[in-house]
Amino acid sequence: MLAVETHDLCKTYVSVKKEPGIKGALKGLFTRAKVETQAVQSVNLSIEQGELVGFLGPNGAGKTTTLKMLSGILHPTSGEAKVLGFTPKDRNPQMLRQMSLVMGNKNQLWWDLPAADSFAVLKELYEVDDARYKKRLAQLIEVLDLGDKVNTQVRKMSLGERMKCELVAALLHAPKVVYLDEPTIGLDVVSQKRIRDFLRELHQEDGSTILLTSHYMQDVEELCDRVIIIDQGKKVFDGRLQTLKDDYSDSRRLTLSFSESVDQDWSAYGRVVESSPEQVVLEIPRQDAAQIVGKALQELPVADVSIQDIDVEDVVRRLFSGSKE
């Protein structure tokens, strides 16, 4: 069953262009030039129930606009969308009770109230029964380590604590579809890791459909098998993360650590990423990896060696630039 489906989904914003100066202001009283910006262009999505999908793209690519249309906040200019069989722009209460949107730079909690009070209000809004609410809340608080924070005024929490509480608020009603827009933005690496672990456990337990946007590629690599990439409002890739790496990276990253200092011209081995007398990191052709490693082991005082795929962040950057180099 498809949880999220779109056909030629488009969103165009119309703004008024004002010419500078007094002359431009006077002219604007009578005629105004309109400028159209296509934020999303003919995007087609098919996401099965229970999938956890990474939704990637550079700033301004149209990711947040797409999520807002899928959640009913924005109406598409053209095309159509279906979420759990409902049309999002209709904002049907049955659909709203089964979905949730978390935006890393927006708050849904009441700033001057303790988080626990906001949770209680959301319980009533989503019509969650008492027994289910208590069980769900206790589970979320325990997993996110918020036991001593939920009775603290939201404005007095750290960014990481607020983000965890935002997740609790969004997941209290056990939604079937969850949109996560930069859920780890601005958090320290420990908080990011805790939230990733939490999302993985939640997905396995609830079987919910999750569409995740993030500029932290670690989020995507740890959580998502499938990624969808858009650029300038258009879908440019939809497939497995490993396929993306294979198709847009002909290289691997070779790290050599030495038992003694080495002063070496590395041009015969590959492109230098990092270098010191004790260690070098090289980018090498994938098909030549075995040959180059053998050459290094034979000619150099190698104490340790590791080979890794290129970071997905580099792969995505190459995809946007249209290059595999």
- Cβ proximity of 180 and 111 under 8 Å: no
CATH number of the domain at 261, please. 3.30.70
Residue 55 lies in a domain: yes
133 and 195 share a domain? yes
What's 68's domain CATH number? 3.40.50.300
Question: Is position 14 within any domain?
Answer: no
Q: What number of CA atoms fall less than 13 Å from residue 12's CA on the CB side?
A: 10
Question: Which residue, of 230, 245, 260, is where some domain finishes?
Answer: 245
Same domain as 295, residue 209: no
Residue 94 belongs to some domain of the structure: yes
pLDDT for res 28: 67
pLDDT tens sequence across 197-232? 888 888 888 889 999 998 788 888 889 989 999 988
Distance between CA atoms of residues 235 and 191, nearest Å: 31
Kindly tell me if the per-residue pLDDT of 87 is higher than 90: yes
Q: How many CB atoms lie within 10 A of CB 10?
A: 18
DSSP 59-86: TTSSHHHHHHHHTTSS--SEEEEEETTB
Which is nearest to 31 in space by CA: 20, 22, 18? 18
* Same domain, yes or no: 163 and 264: no
DSSP helix/strand/coil, 276: coil
- Is 106 exposed, middle or buried, given 0-12, 13-18 or 19+ CB atoms closer than 10 A? exposed
Shared domain check, 84 and 191: yes
Q: What is the DSSP letter of 225?
A: S
Residue 274, domain member (yes or no): yes
pLDDT confidence bin for 60, thresholds 50/70/90: confident
Number of domains present in the structure of the chain: 2
DSSP string, 180-202: EESTTTT--HHHHHHHHHHHHHH
CA distance 325 to 323: 5
Same domain for 197 and 274?
A: no
Residues 135 and 100 in one domain: yes
**Is 159 inside a domain boundary?**
yes
Are 67 and 209 in contact by the 8 Å Cβ rule? The answer is: no
**222 and 111, same structural domain?**
yes
List the one residue out of 62, 99, 75, 88 whose CA is nearest residue 180: 99
Report the predicted TM-score, pTM, of the whole model to 2 decimal places: 0.78
How far is 208 from 241, CA to CA, in rounded Å? Answer: 20
Is 173 in the same domain as 270? no
Domain of 175?
2-8+46-245
In a domain, 16, yes or no: no
Quick check: 324 pLDDT over 70? no
Q: Are residues 238 and 257 in the same domain?
A: no
Among residues of the chain, what percentage have pLDDT more than 70? 95
